[in-house]
Structure 1
Amino acid sequence: MWRPLPHWLVVLFLLVAFTASARERESAAVRTLLISDHPAQEAHRVSVSGQVATVLRFDQACDAARTRLLGWEGRFEPPAVMGKLVVVVPLRDLAEDERVPLLVTLADGTEFPFLLGPPREGQRVDQQVNVFKDRKSYNAVLSSLYDALGRERILVKENERFRKEETSPDHALAALLASGAVTQTPFRPIRTWLFKEDDADIHIVAYSGRLKAAVLVTLRNHDPKRPWRLKEARLMTTPGGETRTVAIRATHSSIPPREEGRLAFIVDKEAFVDAGKPTQLALELVRHDGLRQALVVLDPRLARE
């Protein structure tokens, strides 16, 4: 006969305002920017993040005396010009509507205007931007080719992941749980939390099942403008911090403003084993802006025999 598990088998920490560590920052990227020959070209947007260096690399030397970052005091480290490189480092994350103009002048007098700001929804921070005045040059073509190959590798990995998830029993269970069909799953609720924050209401339920554990997060997004999106879910041993596999399904790819969505997580019993011994697991949820939304610590006895 099934017996209710004690509440202390699951611990939850809600950390909505916790600043992201370096590994929680938006994934950095290298991209190619081919400059248009049109004389009325607009300033090019560059995505930056607090305490992360962004390098703009040109195909000829820059004129340090005529390269200017306007209004950088208090928002950026002093900008550095080193040969063909311009390096900018924000002291903090810029606000959603905050833009800082950068004018780069090459040795031949060519001027390139840029606007530095936070990444848009779904974008990555620019670690390096390779800027080419001559789009037909060897280096410009080669850099564009590397960009295309990188995008292809990402798509291949995503397609392989989707293929595996289509036949995964854990992902099927997660889909049932996220859809609200809890009675069609083998899970029994163990503990429930409800948190009301300024930007979201968060309802979390931890479940116990035969050889599996589950967590269901229901989130209502109170932000009037921005959708809520899960950037990453990490399942790790504690202590130790070794990564484990978790199956995820959600009712929305992102939760629109003023709407509600659910995210379901399924953990197999094998994930609770470390060096042949049972271990606790920490399920960490990081939202779109790099902030840690919640941390749930799960006891191995949730995945009962």
Structure 2
Amino acid sequence: MNHPTRRIARPALHSLLHLLLLVLPLAAGVASARSSWLPEGWEPEDRELRLHERPSASEREIRVTRKFLSVVELMDGRVDLEHTTLEGAGGRIRMAQQDGNLLLLDAVGDLTPGERLPLSVAYEDGTRLELTLVRGELRTDLNVRVYRRPPPTKEEEEAALAESLAGLCLEYEQHELLRGRMTCSPEEDEAPRVGSGGVQESRFRCEPVTHECGVKLPSWLHRRQSPGRLTINGQEGGGGKVGMMGNSIAYWMPLQTVVVISVFNMDPKRRWRPGEYALRREATGEAVRLRAVKAEVPEEGVDFGKVGLMSFVIDTPSSGTERFVLEVLEKDGGPRRIRVEGMTFEAPGKETPAR
């Protein structure tokens, strides 16, 4: 699944480059004049500041050293640089914003021993983070990760990533449905004519609706044909008899697969709302965990002539041949039951990708 590189990657890379600039000349035997500006025993720091643990005043100090970049990384917020203030710097500290949540502090001048510069970092939500810049001496804070709330657990991170993946696939599938939309209007230049039944008729001109997606699938996510056979009350694809038509598609990646079900309500007397759902092994009926479920369905349900979408994130099974079934029941005891039967999760081969 989308396990992105941690957002500290850029500051960490910057820190690494600084260290390389120091280490390489020394390893090559270059005269120590190049690094003579560094205090002997200088140590870079990479640390966390957990505001929910009520850190002391000394923990809120950011130790800066001339010619080094210190980064304050807001782990659960974004920097409002316009309203961020630094008092008494006198041009010795340059501030910049990067990637929304990074505040870059470039020390182009020295702070005097014991000098304290109040730094008030503004969040975009209006709250503020009060810090103090001090002279680095033998230590420099190259990266300080700030948490207002406890960092998410591994399980919470995985759940959030699965939820994001479900949303991405739903959004892209909505685009695929809109690409085929048509708009029809009467031929204004042609007078109405009488058909064989004596009813007046008009000709219509139909044209596709221009639609730009604005969503691009990442290279590691493959949109594929349905992993199984979709039925509604036992009828493949549904139809007028069951008052609904349906389709399924898959978004595959090595660790997880997203199955998206689209339903078109054909019953003018009844809305459709998803109720209980389950993923099971077809051979044993054993329930299998769903990582995330997301539905693009109005609270009142899918009205007649409208489409609803559901997205199910599944841990991709290690076996590409084991069969599974995904079932969605109608809410409030409704009679329509959707099943995607005989699902298998083989890795993409040379088959033509779904469009």
TM-score by length of 1: 0.35
Mark the structure with the bigger radius of gyration: 2
Higher relative contact order (CA 8 A, sep 6+): 1
